[in-house]
Amino acid sequence: MISKKRPEKRHANRLANMYADLDFWLALLKDDDWLADRAESLLDKHEGELEVSLATFIELFLVEERFTFDRERAVTAILELATYESDPNVVYQASENIDKGLNTFDAFHAALSTGSIISSDRAYDELTGVNRIRLEPDENEDSTT
């Protein structure tokens, strides 16, 4: 489990030059990972240089069912230890969307939308703050219009 506390957050305007793949973060997150010691050592060595992307969080959410860790705590820990160039609120919103029953990809699509999304997926209908523009035609409407 990621146990080190870093006193200052990593911000997008800081220079980072070491991309950390999810394998690295999982080694730190999991209690019994065989790579945990090596990951801790690399964490110390590259402190202030680590960066992640949206792909990191998508993959994290996809694998969470196989491993035991708290999704939101993991996101917070990663954001505290690495530079992330995008809006972290998108990641937290996607996590909330998963808690509301969306799959990982739909959760991120909804979080990345600006409030409206074109889709035939009715899962978006249950979300507050997301207006689904129906892709499927009404029963009396031509599907090409």
For residue 4, pLDDT over 70 is answered with no
88-99 vs 104-112: helix crossing angle, rounded to 10? 130
pLDDT of 55 strictly over 90: yes
Q: What is the pLDDT of residues 29-38, one digit of tens each?
A: 988 899 999 9
Q: Which of 45, 54, 57 is nearest to 17 (CA)?
A: 45
Per-residue pLDDT of 106-119, as tens digits, reads 999 999 998 899 99
Instruction: Tell me what percent of the residues of the chain surpass a pLDDT of 90.
Output: 71
What's CA 140's distance to the chain center, in Å?
A: 40
- Among 75, 77, 27, smallest CA distance to 54 is for 75
pLDDT at 10 > cutoff 60? no
Q: Is the pLDDT of residue 90 over 90?
A: yes
Rounded to whole angstroms, how far apart are CA atoms 54 and 60? 10
- At 62, the pLDDT band (50, 70, 90 cuts) reads very high
**pLDDT tens-digit profile of 122-133?**
999 989 889 999
